[in-house]
Structure 1
Amino acid sequence: MVRLLHLSDIHLGSGLSHGRINPATGYNSRFEDFLYCLSQAIERGIAEQVDLAVFGGDAFPNATPEPTHQEEFARQFKRLTDAGIPTVLLVGNHDLHSRGVGGASLNIYSALQVPGFLVGAKLVIHTIATRSGPVQVLTLPWVNRSALVTREEMRGKSIEQVDLALVERMKLALEAQVRRLDPSVPTILLAHLMAENAVYGAERHLAVGRGFSIPLALMARPEFDYVALGHVHRHQVLCEDPPIIYPGSIERVDFGEEKEKKGFILAEVERGRCRYQFVELPARAFKTIQANLADSSDPQADLVEIIRKHKFEGAVVRVHYRLHAHQSERIDTAELRALLERAFAFQLQPELISQLTQPRVPGLGESCALDPLDALGQYLDSRPELAELRSALLQTAEVLIKGERPELDTEECESDQEVLEVTAAAALQLLEREEGPQATSQLGLFGA
């Protein structure tokens, strides 16, 4: 029985926009989050005395990582080899240079022949001696279309036809390797790919180029005792016999992974049998706070109350609130920022509601035959922010429609009346603009 540590999609150096520089270390605080989760996974593997560690690919965000990121990655994985645990590093799509030309960031370990490390850069069988006996690891790194099919060969073919050709070629290449396996030795397929039944996570937005999906039937074979996958950030078990598992990424990259658990797999593999468990890591919490302030008479107070109802200490937070343009001036961002100081990081994301997206006022359809003042009254009822002016607007609108002007006793009264007239006219024009010309043309509203 071989004890196995399976982790993947570290993306060391991702998500730095949510962090800040730690003056004590000089590192971005989000980089330290990723590094902490990686160290916890490796520490658990060493404590469990695993016999073998397999990494499913995507060590960094791209093929040219920063030197400090490379250094910390190497330092953590060296802990495994120092403990006598051989380690297989698979090449993922983020580890490859553009179109697969120019090598991969992980190839440095094979070029230097670092003891204890094997790099899965090709579809090949690695027979590894562990403390609990030999194990076979068949590595299947990320495959680019250009690596299998030339442009000339696929000229005039659709994307679907190209994908079918790629899968067929992969099937033949995989079959050739399977026939070379020793049937008496535990076998692990270590692959970086998109399986047909898998559910995407944030890697859909992070992926470089468009990949193609691999049928589950190519991997669900009795020759494999465990299928260790990488590429998809959401942990999921696609099959039980044999276990075909994405451990998922070790840390949250963005809000798309807000509700996903992050971790790795510990497994016990023997010929014809495998037991496994998912181990959750203390990934940084992400939290979205939603607020619809469209009908609020005091948007600031309501937003503060909504924020206070949530627990967000130490989390990466985004506050998304919807409001009308005239409400935005009542939002005190300084108070909101002070309220969110307990968060690890936060973003305020206001969304102004376009008047063009407002629902139509009931009764003002194409067949509307309302009295003009009734129409205006219904419109004002749908605009709570104009409630205090409703009576005055209706009175002034009536005067405008009749083409009359009331006698004014004082200059002050005349000034107020002029304000009401302008406001009423603007409201009627807004009614026509929002509800369509039919809402006012048939009512003869602009005769004044």
Structure 2
Amino acid sequence: MIKIFHFSDIHLGSGFSHGRINPKTGLNTRLEDFIKSLSLCIDRAISESVDLVLFGGDAFPDATPPPYVQEAFASQFCRLADANIPTVLLVGNHDQHSQGIGGASLCIYRTLAVPGFIVGDSLNTHKIMTKNGDIQVITLPWLTRSTLFTRRKTDGLSFEEVSQLLIESLTSALEGEIRQLDPALPTILLAHLMADRANLGAERFLAVGKGFTIPIALLIRPEFDYVALGHVHKHQNLNPSNNPPIIYPGSIERVDFSEEKEDKGYVLLEIEKGRVNWEFNTLPTRVFCTINVNVSDQEDPQKIILNAIQKKPIQDAVVRLIYQIRSEQLELIDTQAIYQALEITHSYTIRPELVSQLSRRRLPELGVENSLDPMTALKAYLDNDENLQELAPDILEAAQSLLNGEHKHQNALAQKQGVLALEIEELN
């Protein structure tokens, strides 16, 4: 069987806001985290003596990464070339310039003719020779409407109509590749796309330009032995029946807090025609931890916040502390003590959220189901607000005076109406 390493969405150079500068290297510590995860992937591929590496796209956050990020990426992938392991680099949406116009950051590896490297920047079928047999890989990079047809063809069409045209065009193009396959060889579709069954993560915020969603039916084909996907950061199998497996390995590091609870890793698989065994392997990535505590009803908010911090595994983690608090409680918070409690983290952010007095729980006796006269309702409100206790008598007296004045005005008006009625009757 042919052994394959499948991983995706490296995003090398992302998440700098969650790191700090390492004084020894001059690099952002989050960049070092991403490099470490990538290095562990390459280590495993080499130690397992895999026959082929499939990268599902999105090497960087954008198509123009700084030179030192490009160098970090190249230094890891050149190890695969040195080990004579064939590698397919698929172009994702983040690897493209201007939604596909102007080339892709990964095309340099084709220009340099790196031995054994294939850049998948077009829909094409590649027959690859490995030490354990031949295999065919269809590359399907991130597609945009300009990739499939001209703007003139979509003028005046709605978004739904354009999407339908895109799907029809892709279906036709993919069918053309399938008809040229060698039925005796194992086949893999390597694609960077958004499938309609996928559970989304950070990629919904990271996406550059508008793509379109691919129906899962387009991927479930008997000609495919395995569908290797990229783009979605959460690992998932979109076809549990595994005929064929349709696998997102997910990203190899957490980009932000939307991926806090997701496992990160890669897929190892063995394949032959009509048979495939695959396994997801996790990576020891940096922990993200959210501490969310509401202290708006607490007498000692500082103590509650510190206790909440102590209960969480924050050692060397990226932490965000969010606490809800009333404005009059702010003077009870010792920020230096909170900073000290968070010193053991890798990095942290603190976000206090002020709770409006108007958002406090309503009094049961003032509910819509209860019918109270105005003075009783006002007294109930004043009795439940400690800040108004001293002013309560004066407020009640002023309210009663207003009500008495209103009654007098109503009585006078009624008297005038009665006199007027009598005068009209006499005239008649």
Tell me the TM-score normalised to structure 2 length. 0.90
* 2:330 aligns with one of 328, 331, 336: 328
Structure 1 partner of 2:91: 91
Residues 367-389 of structure 1 show CA distances to partners (whole Å, capped at 9, x for unaligned) of 87545564344324655xx2xx5
Alignment of 1:53-202 (within 5 A): 53-202=53-202
Change in CA separation of 1:402 and 1:271 when aligned onto 2, cut-off 3 Å: closer
Q: Assess if the C-alpha contact under 8 Å between 1:59 and 1:95 holds in 2.
A: yes
The answer for the alignment partner of 1:254 in structure 2 is: 256
CA deviations 1:125-169 (Å, max 9, x no partner) are: 111111111111110000011211322211221111111110010
1:99 Cα deviation (Å)?
2.1
Residue matched to 2:41: 41
Q: Distance in 1 between matches of 2:229 and 2:160?
A: 24
- String of CA shifts for 1:390-420, please: whole Å, max 9, x gaps: 65343443455567xxxxxxxxxxxxxxxxx
Per mean C-alpha deviation after superposition, the further-off stretch among 47-56 and 374-383 is: 374-383
Report runs of 4+ in structure 1 exceeding 3 Å deviation. 355-374, 380-383, 389-403, 440-444
Letter in 2 for 1:392: E
Q: 1:346 aligns with which of 348, 351, 355?
A: 348
Q: C-alpha displacement at 1:107, in angstroms?
A: 0.4
Q: 1:171 to 1:320 in 2, by over 3 A?
A: same
Structure 1 residue aligned with 2:270:
268
1:196-225 per-position Cα deviation (integer Å, ceiling 9, x unaligned): 101111000000012111111111111111
| 1:324 positional shift | 1.3
2:164 alignment partner, SS class: helix
How far the C-alpha of 1:358 sits from its partner, in A, is 3.8
**Contiguous gaps of at least 5 residues in structure 1:** 404-439
Which residue matches 1:222?
Answer: 222
For the residues of structure 2 that align with 1:68 and 1:308, how far apart are their CA atoms? 38
**Cα separation, 2, equivalents of 1:232 and 1:83:** 29
For the residue of structure 2 that corresponds to 1:89, the secondary structure is strand
Give the structure 2 partner of residue 392 of structure 1.
390
| Percent of matched pairs sharing the same residue | 55
Verify: 1:315 aligned to 2:317, yes or no.
yes
Q: Secondary structure, in 3 states, of the residue corresponding to 1:329?
A: helix
* Residues in 2 aligned to 1:303 and 1:175: alpha-carbon distance in whole angstroms: 59
Change (3 A) 1:331 1:362: same
Contact 2:379 2:396 in 1 (8 A): no
CA distance in 2, matches of 1:207, 1:163: 17
The answer on whether the counterparts of 2:18 and 2:318 sit within 8 Å (CA) in structure 1 is: yes
Q: Which deviations, in whole Å up to 9, do the C-alpha atoms of 1:9-32 show, x marking residues without a partner?
A: 000000011111111111110000
Structure 2 residue matching 1:17: 3-state secondary structure: helix
Aligned length, in residue pairs: 404
Give the Cα separation in 2 of the matches to 1:23 and 1:443.
75
Q: Secondary structure at 2:336's aligned position in 1?
A: helix
Tell whether the 8 Å contact from 1:373 to 1:397 is kept in structure 2 after alignment.
no
Partner of residue 279, structure 2: 277
Residue identity in the other structure for 2:327: A
Deviations 1:50-96 (A, max 9, x none): 10001000000000001011111111011112111110000000000
The match for 2:12 is 12
Shift of 1:443: 11
- Work out whether 1:236 is the aligned partner of 2:236: yes
Structure 1 equivalent of residue 290 of structure 2: 288
Contact 1:372 1:443 in 2 (8 A): no
User: Residue 412 of structure 2 aligns with which residue?
Assistant: none
The residue matched to 1:152 in structure 2 has which SS?
A: helix
The change in CA–CA distance for 1:327 and 1:441 in structure 2 (over 3 A counts) is: farther
Query: Partners in 2 of 1:380 and 1:296 — Cα distance?
Result: 21
State the match for 1:424 in structure 2: none
Q: Which residues of structure 2 form unaligned runs of 5+?
A: 407-428
SS in 2 for 1:53: strand
One-letter code aligned to 2:284 = P
Q: How does 1:335-414 map to 2 (within 5 A)?
A: 335-364=337-366, 370=372, 374-380=376-382, 382-383=384-385, 386=386, 391-398=389-396, 400-401=398-399
2:203: which partner in 1? Answer: 203
Aligned counterparts of 2:347 and 2:99: Cα–Cα separation in 1: 35
* Corresponding residue SS for 1:85: coil
Q: Give the Cα separation in 1 of the matches to 2:384 and 2:173.
A: 66
